[in-house]
């Protein structure tokens, strides 16, 4: 399928609305109006509303695996340094693509759309295997403890980030950070998430305090 700028425009409008109101509550008319295109263009371009969602998933998840692999190619890095890179990469992407991450989270909870389930499953397996390899390497080098429950560990990373994104405004209120702009708050949360998760990973992976 050829993807024109108009395709992208519709996809990103849809993403915005799906994240704000949920897939089912977003009508094709909403998307068309917000994107400034005719209602029928969405069926013409994507076939259906459901297919549109699937294209969005492909559009957003296309090169995740590759990026992660490139990140770990650098042989001069210690295992824990690589783990830290992975953590920061995940935080960065989750924050940068907040809207899509929210949609993804909902879709995983509902677990209905077979196409999406398949796409996500593929990414998950790949990521888990990469990190498992990385951890085994660290264990061989004596840097990491064994055994490690990789899925459980990744659940902590992904879950903590998700939860913080959900609770962003609540985090602001509870910590009395009203004076910060949204960008400043976001930067602060990123920094704190990074430190926090790295500390957690060290506790699970290494023997150091």
In the complex, the residues that contact DNA under the rule CB under 7 A are 4, 6, 26-29, 37-44, 47-50
Q: Residue 167's binding partner, choosing from DNA, its own copies, none, with beta-carbon cut-off 5 to 8 A by kind?
A: its own copies
Q: Residue 176's binding partner, choosing from its own copies, DNA, none, with beta-carbon cut-off 5 to 8 A by kind?
A: none
Q: Residue 44's binding partner, choosing from DNA, its own copies, none, with beta-carbon cut-off 5 to 8 A by kind?
A: DNA
Q: Residue 50's binding partner, choosing from DNA, its own copies, none, with beta-carbon cut-off 5 to 8 A by kind?
A: DNA
DSSP string, the chain: ----HHHHHHHHHHHHHHHHH-TTTS-HHHHHHHHTS-HHHHHHHHSSHHHHHHHHHHHHHTTHHHHHHHHHH-TTS-HHHHHHHHHHHHHHHHHHTHHHHHHHHHHHHH---HHHHHHHHHHHHHHHHHHHHHHHHHHHTTSS-S---HHHHHHHHHHHHHHHHHTHHHHHHHTT-TTS-HHHHHHHHHHHHHHHHHHHHHHHH-S--
Least distance (Å) from its own copies to the CB of residue 44? 25
Residues that bind its own copies (CB under 8 A): 21-22, 24-25, 102, 105-106, 108-112, 121, 124-125, 128, 149-152, 155-156, 158-164, 166-167, 170-171, 174-175, 192-193, 196, 199-200, 202-204, 207, 209
Q: Which is nearer to its own copies, 95 or 150 (CB)?
A: 150
Least distance (Å) from DNA to the CB of residue 30? 7
């Amino acid at each position: 399928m050829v993807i024109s700028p108009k395709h992208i425009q519709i996809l990103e409008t849809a993403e915005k609305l799906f994240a704000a109101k949920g897939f089912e509550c977003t009508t094709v008319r909403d998307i068309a109006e917000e994107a400034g295109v005719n209602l029928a263009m969405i069926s013409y371009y994507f076939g259906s509303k459901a297919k549109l969602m699937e294209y969005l998933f492909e559009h957003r998840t296309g090169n995740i695996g590759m990026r992660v692999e490139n990140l770990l190619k650098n042989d001069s890095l210690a295992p824990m340094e690589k783990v830290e890179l992975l953590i920061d990469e995940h935080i960065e992407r989750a924050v940068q693509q907040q809207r899509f991450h929210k949609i993804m989270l909902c879709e995983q909870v509902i677990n209905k759309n077979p196409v999406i389930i398949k796409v996500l499953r593929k990414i998950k397996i790949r990521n888990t295997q990469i990190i498992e390899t990385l951890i085994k390497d660290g264990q061989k080098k004596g840097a990491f403890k064994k055994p490690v429950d990789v899925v459980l560990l990744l659940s902590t990373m992904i879950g903590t980030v998700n939860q913080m994104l959900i609770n962003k405004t609540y985090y602001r209120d509870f910590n009395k950070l009203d004076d910060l702009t949204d960008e400043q708050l976001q930067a602060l949360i990123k920094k704190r998430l990074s430190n926090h998760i790295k500390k957690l990973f060290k506790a699970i992976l290494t023997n150091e305090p």
